[in-house]
């Protein structure tokens, strides 16, 4: 440990300033960084590269073509109302069709009932012949 620093000995301001002058300042670092960055990309190259991208004004103009949230909410509300109205109309039509179907089935049942309307009387006569002594 040849380079061991003795922290118990006090230093003067002059010694501290002399020691700190060995290190680069913030301005020195900024200048070095700027110089280093200029090696990679010049302002002209950067400007040319950025020309490929749209500006805020161009983006704003392009976005004007699209609907806003308010427009979509109004449109969605109108669409929802149309769907509800269609649903009501379909349910009404379905109820009407179900009623018509029920009436048709009732007519079919009446036709079948008419065929066998006199069945109880006929069966009594048959039972009277087949089972002459029994009372039912």
Q: What is the pLDDT of residues 7-64, one digit of tens each?
A: 778 888 898 888 888 888 889 889 988 888 777 777 787 788 888 888 999 999 999 9
Residues 23 and 36: their CA atoms lie apart, in Å, by: 19
Whether the pTM exceeds 0.85: the reply is no
Q: How many domains does one find in the chain?
A: 1
pLDDT at 11: 83
Q: Calculate the alpha carbon distances from 96 to 18, 27, 46, 83, 103 in Å.
A: 103, 88, 73, 20, 11
Answer yes or no: is 1 within a domain: no
Whole-number Å distance between alpha carbons of 104 and 98: 10
- Give the model's pLDDT for residue 17: 86
Is the pLDDT higher at 3 or at 43?
43
106, part of any domain? no
Q: What's the per-residue H, E or C state across the chain?
A: CCCCCCCCCCCCHHHHHHHHCCCCCHHHHHHHHHHHHHHHCCHHHHHHHHCCCCCHHHHHHHHCCCCCHHHHHHHHHHHHHHHHHHHHHHHHHHHHHHHHHHHHHHHHHHHHHHHCCCHHHHHHHHHHHHCCCCCC
pLDDT higher than 50, residue 1:
no
- Is residue 87 domain-resident? yes
Q: Which structural domain, as residue segments, surrounds residue 28?
A: 16-98
Q: Bigger pLDDT: 109 or 38?
A: 109
Determine what percent of the chain is predicted with pLDDT higher than 90: 38
Q: Are 59 and 66 in contact (CB under 8 A)?
A: no
80 in a structural domain: yes
């Amino acid at each position: 440990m040849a380079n061991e620093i003795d922290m118990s000995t006090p230093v003067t301001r002059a010694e501290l300033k002399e020691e700190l002058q060995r290190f680069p300042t913030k301005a020195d670092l900024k200048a070095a960084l700027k110089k280093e960055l200029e090696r990679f990309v010049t302002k002209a190259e950067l400007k040319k590269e950025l020309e490929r991208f749209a500006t805020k004004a161009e983006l704003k103009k392009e976005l004007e073509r699209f609907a806003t949230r308010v427009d979509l909410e109004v449109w969605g509300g109108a669409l929802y109302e149309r769907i509800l109205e269609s649903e009501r109309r379909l349910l009404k039509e379905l109820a009407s069709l179900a009623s018509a179907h029920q009436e048709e089935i009732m007519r079919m049942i009446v036709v079948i009932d008419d065929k066998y309307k006199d069945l109880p009387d006929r069966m009594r006569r048959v039972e009277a012949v087949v089972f002459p002594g029994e009372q039912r």
